[in-house]
Structure 1
Amino acid sequence: MLGDLVSGRERSSVVCIEDTVELSGLQLLCSFVKSLLKRLDKVHILCFEPPSQLLNPCERLLIHDGFSDTFGWLGTPSCLNVNSDIEKYLSDQSQRSGQASANQRSAVVIDTLTPLITQHGAVKSCQIVQNLCKAKLKGGNIAQVVFLLHGDLHSDHSLTLIHHVTSSVLKICPSKSPNHAAICNILHKKPSGKVIKLSEHFDVNSSLDVQNVEEWKPSNAMATDVSESQLDPTANLTFNLSLTDEEKQARSKLVLPYTKAMDRPVIGTDNTSGGGEGGKIFYQPDEADDFDEEDPDDDLDI
């Protein structure tokens, strides 16, 4: 699944790569950039952190400086900051970069969404991401938005809101396996509405290619031991509750009282053809009973 998302074989309009201080998601983000350059006409990278040395600007890869004056305190007019109208800024930059066809397809990559969330909050940041997906730049449309999110810097509520507006969430963490560098927990929402959740091992080589992708499942050895102990409630007891084969055989030969009553012969009567005598009710009146043998309706003229 991870390889299909990076290569574009699996469609996803908004991809969120969530990392932590334990493992950076920058290499995986650069893998997306490399793949986007193969599939699309232009890739805009909004850098709110110093740009990685792994990326080399070119005619089709436009790196926009958003880290020199991130919050706009210096008042640099041509510099991108968190208060800029990103859609208008990208449209102007696309027009300045050269003549572009009307059918040009572009992608927007944000190296970190954390400054936007810090400045505007999660709700406003979600609106910015959604507006970028629907934006129509001068010279084409935006086909995909990919951004990096430092998950350990935000609350669970903020992360839930961000995940809600994305079509794919890739949470990466270090792998304990010696054969792989990282684990990616994937939550992918297909256009049909189907939701896929799985975890995969992966590596990113020096050429920024995702490789060695294998599905990862937690070891079930402990779960098997627990299930087996739950199946046998008499295990690990200080006293014996189980039966031996001889005790089980003796229990099977035991005749219970109700089986004797069922085996009694049925006594026939004259007014029943081969049937039983039937049940009888014997009632002994009590002293408190108000028993009157006279007809209560005897005084009525019927």
Structure 2
Amino acid sequence: MTLFKLKSAPTLLIEDDNNKNILPLLLDVVQQEKSALKIFCFEQPVSLWRKVLQNHSSVTFHKELCCDQYNNIINTKSVIVIDSINQMCLHLGWNECLKCLKRLCSDAKVHKLVMVLHLDCLPFPKLQLHLNHIANAIVSYDLHENNKIRLKLKKGGKMVRSEEILSYDSKLGLLRCTPVVKETSKDDEPVKPLPANLSTFKIEVDQTEKLEKYKLKLPYMSKINEGESKVFYEPDAVDDWDEEDPDEDLDI
């Protein structure tokens, strides 16, 4: 499902560094596209890309892209791959590069735009920020695990984030993405509030108040001997004491 969302995203940004191999993911994203594939080789030579994409039926390679030659190059429905944005910015300048990218994003003939960005050699400080704003899907490779990626998908005006593990099924020849399930520890669970904190008045008593409570002697306690208890009743003067048998009218 994750790869399907990446393939359906009109603008995809792949962030990596020199130690990561992005070809398996990049090829899986573009190899099933029916539109013509156009590779802009600003960084790697055309001969290398021609070997990588030798099985692709309709692919053309270009060494540059600028606004003056735009109409001559983007003349049919195409999938555009730019390798890489870093070298494109150095070659054209940031203003010219940004104009070309915005034109590609708004062009109906561009079925998909895939941009490769090397985070370890950014030519401009805000380059990554601008590209994150343009892209509909962003793939970032983990610094320590080469097969672990972080995904950012724009959906309904919100950014959905997830972590995936890339694996290749040699039998089926398919690239798979397995979501990383984070284990929640007990330390992360919220602390339950104490009953005393839920009320506006004081419920619990402290040690000093307990001692004062034990020292308090009530009036009836003077009548109770240690180890035994009795009930003392003294009739009041106004009590109506009837000594007759209350049940004498019953035939028992």
TM-score normalized with structure 2 length = 0.64
* Cα separation, 2, equivalents of 1:208 and 1:84: 39
Shift of 1:161: 1.1
Q: Tell me which residue corresponds to 1:116.
A: 88
What are the Cα deviations for residues 96-142 of structure 1, in whole angstroms up to 9, with x where unaligned? xxxxxxxxx42212232221122344454233122012225xxxx22
Matches within 5 A, 1:187-226: 187-190=152-155, 192-204=156-168, 209-211=174-176, 213-217=177-181, 224=186
Residue-pair matches, total: 197
Stretches of structure 1 that go unaligned for 5 or more consecutive residues are 67-80, 95-104, 232-248, 264-302
Q: 1:172 aligns with which of 134, 141, 147?
A: 141
* Cα separation, 1, equivalents of 2:90 and 2:3: 31
Change (3 A) 1:182 1:217: same
Change (3 A) 1:22 1:183: same
- 8 Å CA contact 2:67, 2:100 repeated in 1: no
Change (3 A) 1:185 1:33: same
Q: Tell me which residue corresponds to 2:29.
A: 32
Stretches of structure 2 that go unaligned for 5 or more consecutive residues are 192-204, 219-252
- 8 Å CA contact 1:170, 1:185 repeated in 2: yes
Shift of 1:19: 1.0
Q: Secondary structure at the match of 1:35?
A: coil
Q: 2:147 aligns with which of 182, 206, 211?
A: 182
TM-score normalized with structure 1 length = 0.54
Q: Tell me which residue corresponds to 1:87.
A: 70
What are the Cα deviations for residues 141-164 of structure 1, in whole angstroms up to 9, with x where unaligned? 222111211121115521111111
Shift of 1:55: 0.7
Q: Tell me which residue corresponds to 1:144.
A: 112
What are the Cα deviations for residues 24-46 of structure 1, in whole angstroms up to 9, with x where unaligned? 2122111112132xxx3322222
* Cα separation, 1, equivalents of 2:173 and 2:92: 32
Change (3 A) 1:250 1:148: closer
* Cα separation, 2, equivalents of 1:175 and 1:116: 28
- 8 Å CA contact 2:66, 2:96 repeated in 1: no
